[in-house]
Amino acid sequence: MAIKALLVAVSEYKVTGCSDLPLCKNDLYAMQNALIKGLKVKLNDIYLCGDRGNVNKVDFLAGINKIIENSTEEDTVIFYFSGHGGENILALTDVLIELQEVINLIENVKAKNKVILLDCCHAGGFEITNTQVGIIDSIEKFLGVGCAVLASCGAEEVSGFNTERRLSLYTSFLCDALTNKMLIREGRKTLEAIVEAVCQYANAWNRRGKGNIQRPIFRSNVGGTIFFDVEHYKPYQVAQVYEETDKYIIYEVEPVHHGQAKRLAVKVILRYQSSLEQVAEIADEIQCKILYYEVHQNQRAEAYHRGKPANIVWCYFGYDEDDMVNSNFICHTTWVDDSQDKLHWYRQRKHSCFINEVYISEHESYELIKSMKTEKMTKDELIRVTKKYTDEMIRLGEQCICIYREYVNGTMSEEELIRQIGLFNKQISRLYFKQGELPIPPNELNEWAQAHVNIAGTIHDLTLFYNKNNLDKWTSQNRSWLMTNTIKRYQDDLKRLAELEKRIARESKLSLGGLSSQGDRHSLEPC
């Protein structure tokens, strides 16, 4: 995937009523540098229109055609405009053109996704087509597909300049966001993070009261968000532990460090039917064995905990690999050192006790969950039904996000947001609980099915913060913060699911494709 950009800046005007804007020419080169530095766009993939000040209609259309001709279906296209604007109007040197026509034209470019950046007065009066609908053939083909528009101000507002930087004000925000290294996560920047940074810069500027108030506008029909790969990223490799003995198998050691505490959770397969006394003996042996194991979640945790003994060790026991994959255990043991609150971790519970000084908690639901594994549903049917529920939840979740963005844009009151979000509550909750009732998947689908459960839970969370029954739990500011972060989590969940589907299909040649029915649309640590 490549990024192709058309940058248009109009500094000189012949149109009646439009004064010259000499600083717009500076915007052109500032945006060019920001795209190269911040998004690693190649210089040859950036087309400038207006470097001499004039942008006639013929020049503008030639630039549009150049983008159309040189873009592929896997590309990202960025269109940027700086100059005079009016009510649904962009002003070129010699003519006025309709903003909505330009947006519609860019939307129809065959590139995977399009980003339109508008720095002009009255820029926020545009519309974009509805969020994607229809069957989702795969998450990979849905994620990041669509069109997003970022505008400098609302339909009734005017845009200004940052005279100190000799740039248009909104362009200065865009350049700062695009080049902000603090927005990089796992080698990527997201469109969502860039938009959020721009809004923060604008709010800070507005509070200073040095010029006209500008409230940036953001509308999108992109599935999830757009991820920009901006630097090489090597994922941290968690150490893999597997050990076989005559009595048991250490299947996995999972790091669940928290704060200053080094915590390890061990999955153990018992080779034979074992009494609780025998389990206690094995747990004591494993605890001593793994006390200094170097298994960490990430580089930061490793740097802090390396060389130190574990503060807490949990051992989870089952009888086969199915139990390990499905996290279905007959019991678990807990060991903590003297630095921990033993009254908390060893507190009396209904199904917990000490056996030979080992704290054991039995899991009463083990046999019930084991029996659920035998529920009748073919692998293909499970894939189809799981995707059906997730596809519908994604469609509803995207609509909730679009509604919330209008609240952020200032075009909707919080009362209206609550009313509109309420229209989706029952539908999303129904699908969420139906997905939770699906049979336990076969082992090869477990990770995939869990990813669907995770994204369903995140979408369900989107309906909580503006639910009229929960309004007394948070302030308006808290609700906005929670919603914003849940949207980011949803977009990350989509990305992980897309990558997982791709990996499973590659490794196992398992088909996770579209739905067959054309009527359908599309840590182990205890408390």
Q: Are residues 7 and 142 in the same domain?
A: yes
pTM attached to this predicted model = 0.86
Q: What is the pLDDT of residues 364-409, one digit of tens each?
A: 999 888 887 655 678 889 999 999 999 999 999 999 999 999 999 9
Residue 85 has a pLDDT of 93
Domain that holds residue 450: 379-508
Residue 368 has a pLDDT of 85
d(CA 464, CA 483): 9
d(CA 458, CA 117): 29
Choose the final residue of a domain: 309, 338, 372.
Answer: 372
Residue 108 has a pLDDT of 85
Q: What is the pLDDT of residues 45-72, one digit of tens each?
A: 999 999 999 999 999 999 999 999 999 9
The answer to whether residues 76 and 115 touch, using CB atoms and an 8 Å cutoff, is: yes
The contacts of residue 524 (CB under 8 Å, 6+ apart) are 254, 256, 265, 267, 314, 316, 327
- Kindly give the parts of the chain with pLDDT less than 70: 130-136, 373-376, 508-527
Report the alpha-carbon angle 221-426-482, nearest 5.
60
Query: For the purposes of burial, counting CB atoms within 10 Å of the CB of 393, is it exposed (0-12), middle (13-18) or buried (19 or more)?
Result: buried
Q: What is the pLDDT of residues 234-249, one digit of tens each?
A: 999 999 999 999 999 9
- Tell me if 526 is assigned to some domain: no
- Tell me if 22 is assigned to some domain: yes
- For the chain, the domain total comes to 3
Q: Are residues 419 and 286 in the same domain?
A: no
Q: Are residues 114 and 225 in the same domain?
A: yes
Q: Are residues 165 and 305 in the same domain?
A: no
d(CA 333, CA 352): 9
Residue 518 has a pLDDT of 34
Q: How many CA atoms lie within 13 A of 336 on its CB side?
A: 14
Q: Are residues 270 and 358 in the same domain?
A: yes
